[in-house]
Amino acid sequence: MSGLLLVISGPSGAGKTTIAREVEKAFEDAVFSVSVTTRARTVKDREGVDYRFVSEDEFDRMVGEGELLEWAGVFERRYGTPRGPVEDALARGKLVILEIDVRGAGQVKEKMAGMYGVFVLPPSEEELLRRLRDRQREDEQTIQKRFREATREIEEAKAGGVYDAFVVNDDLERAVAETVGLVRLRRG
C-alpha cells in the first residue's frame, strides 16, 4: 500500500480523537503525528504520545526555523505539527495520521495536495451539547463557548473544500469502520 497523509478533524465532543486512535490500530503501518503544544499538560495527557508539551519560547523557535508543517491557535493556546516525522514517514510509504483543527488542515492542504481529509460530525447539535455537558470537565459558560466554537468549525469545514469525507459519529464502531473503509479505498 502507498503512503497517505490522513487528516482527521472535528469539533470537541465529536469523538475525533477516539476515531483517530482506532484508525491507527486498524493499520499496521500507521504513524500518529505527535503535535507540539503550549497548553498545560493534564493528568490524562501522555508526554510524547498525545502531545509534546513545549514552552512559548520553544514554540516560537520551531515556527521561526520552519520546523512546523502547520500550526494554529486554539482556545488561546498554540498547537503545531512537526514537519520532519511526517515527511520521513510518508517517504517510507506509511499512513500518517494528523488530528488537527480546521485551520491547520487548510494549511496542510495547501502544502500537500494529496492529503485525505476526514471531518467527524456529531449526530446533531443537541447531541453535541449533551456530550460536552456529560464530560463534566468544564463550567456551563465554557461549555457554551466550546459549543459556539464547534458550530463555527462545522460551518467552516463544510464551506472550505479541504475535507474529502464527513463521517457522522452516531455510533463509534460504525464510524470507525466507515473511516477505515474510506482510507483503504483511498490507498488502493
- Contact footprint for ligand 5GP (CB under 6 A): 12, 35, 39, 70-72, 74, 79-81, 99-101, 104
| DSSP conformation letters of 55-94 | -HHHHHHHHHTT-EEEEEEETTEEEEEEHHHHHHHHHTT-
Shortest distance (Å) from residue 3 CB to ligand 5GP: 19
Least distance from ligand 5GP to the Cβ atom of residue 157, Å: 11
Q: Select 2 or 81, whichever has its Cβ closest to ligand 5GP.
A: 81
Q: Is the dihedral of CA 55, 57, 59, 62 positive or negative?
A: negative
Q: What is the DSSP letter of 168?
A: E
- DSSP helix/strand/coil, 5: strand
- 84 Cβ neighbours under 8 A, 6+ residues apart: 67
Residue 15 or 183: the one with the smaller Cβ distance to ligand 5GP is 15
| Number of other CB atoms surrounding residue 10 within 10 Å | 27
Residue number with the smallest Cβ distance to ligand 5GP: 104
Measured from the CB atom, the residue of 33 and 94 that comes closer to ligand 5GP is 33
Beta carbon nearer to ligand 5GP, 103 or 186? 103
What minimum distance in Å lies between the beta carbon of 52 and ligand 5GP? 10
Q: How far is the CB of 20 from ligand 5GP (least distance, A)?
A: 9
